[in-house]
Amino acid sequence: MKFFSCFLVTTTLLLLVACQSNQNVSITDVPSSTPTRVVEITSNPTLIESTATLQPTETSFAVSPTKTPVILSTNLNPKYNISATLDFSWRILKVEQEILIPNNSLKAIPELSLVVQPNWRLGVFNLTEFTTMDGTPINSYTLDGIHLRVLLPEPLLPGETYPISLAYEINIPPILTSEDFGPNPFGYTSRQINLTDWYPFVPPYIEGEGWLVHNPWYYGEHLVYPVADFNIDIAITNAPNTTIIAASALDLGDNALHQYKLQSARDFVWSVSPEYREFRDKVGDTTVLGYAFPYDIIAGEAAFKTTVEALTLYNQLFGPYPFESMTMIEADFNHGMEYSGLYFLSNAFFDTYDGSPSSYLVTIAAHETAHQWWFGLVGNDQALEPWLDEALCTYSEKLFLEKLYPGSLSWWEYARINYYEPTGWVDSTIYNTLGYRFYRDAVYLNGARFLDELRTLVGDDVFFAFIQDYLAKNTNRIATSADFFNALRGHSEADLSDLLSRYFQYP
pLDDT digits (tens, 9 = 90+) for 100-142: 999 999 999 999 999 999 999 999 999 999 999 899 999 999 9
Q: For domain 278-507, which CATH number applies: 1.20.1260.10, 1.10.390.10, 2.60.40.790, 3.90.1150.10?
A: 1.10.390.10
Task: Please report which residue ranges of 31-88 form alpha helices under DSSP H.
Answer: none
User: Which pLDDT score is estimated for 324?
Assistant: 98
Residue-wise burial string across 162-192, b where 16 or more C-beta atoms lie within 10 A, e elsewhere = bbbbbebebebbebbebeebbbbbbbbeeeb
Q: How far apart are CA 195 and CA 326, in angstroms?
A: 17
User: Under 8 Å CB-to-CB from 164, ≥6 apart: which residues?
Assistant: 98, 99, 101, 112, 130, 131, 132, 133, 138, 150
What pLDDT, in 10s, does the model give residues 59-93? 433 333 344 445 554 458 999 999 999 999 999 99
User: Under 8 Å CB-to-CB from 256, ≥6 apart: which residues?
Assistant: 235
What pLDDT, in 10s, does the model give residues 382-421? 999 999 999 999 999 999 999 999 999 999 999 999 999 9
**3-class SS at 473?**
helix
Candidates 203, 206, 246; CA nearest to 226 is 203
Q: Are 227 and 264 in contact (CB under 8 A)?
A: yes
114: β partners? 148
pTM of the model: 0.87
User: Under 8 Å CB-to-CB from 369, ≥6 apart: which residues?
Assistant: 306, 307, 310, 311, 314, 326, 328, 343
Residue 428: HSE in the Cβ half-sphere, 13 Å Cα cutoff: 28
What pLDDT, in 10s, does the model give residues 272-292? 999 999 999 999 999 999 999
Which H helix or E strand runs over 454? helix 446-458
User: Which pLDDT score is estimated for 71?
Assistant: 53
Q: Which stretch of 99-113, 165-179, 262-276, 345-359 has the lowest confidence by average pLDDT?
A: 165-179
User: Which pLDDT score is estimated for 333?
Assistant: 87
Burial class for 354, CB neighbours closer than 10 Å (0-12, 13-18, 19+) = exposed
Q: Are 203 and 212 in contact (CB under 8 A)?
A: yes
Q: Are 478 and 224 in contact (CB under 8 A)?
A: yes
User: Which pLDDT score is estimated for 135?
Assistant: 93
Count CB neighbours of 59 within 10 A.
Answer: 12
**3-class SS at 476?**
coil
Helices 481-489 and 460-474 cross at an angle (nearest 10°) of: 130
Q: What percent of the chain has pLDDT over 90?
A: 79
At residue 192, does pLDDT exceed 50? yes
User: Under 8 Å CB-to-CB from 120, ≥6 apart: which residues?
Assistant: 55, 56, 145, 146, 184, 216
Over the chain, what is the mean pLDDT? 87
Pair type for strands 379-380 and 478-479: parallel
Helices 387-404 and 481-489 cross at an angle (nearest 10°) of: 50
Task: Give residue limits of the domains in the chain.
Answer: 31-275, 278-507
Percentages helix, strand, coil for the chain (3-state, rounded to 5) are 25, 30, 45
Residues 238-242, mean pLDDT to the nearest whole number: 97
Q: How far apart are CA 125 and CA 442, in angstroms?
A: 35
CATH superfamily of 31-275: tricorn interacting facor f3 domain (2.60.40.1730)
Candidates 424, 315, 301, 444; CA nearest to 372 is 315
User: Which pLDDT score is estimated for 340?
Assistant: 98
Candidates 383, 332, 94, 440; CA nearest to 216 is 383
At residue 4, does pLDDT exceed 70? no
Tell me the pLDDT band of 49, cut-offs 50, 70 and 90.
very low
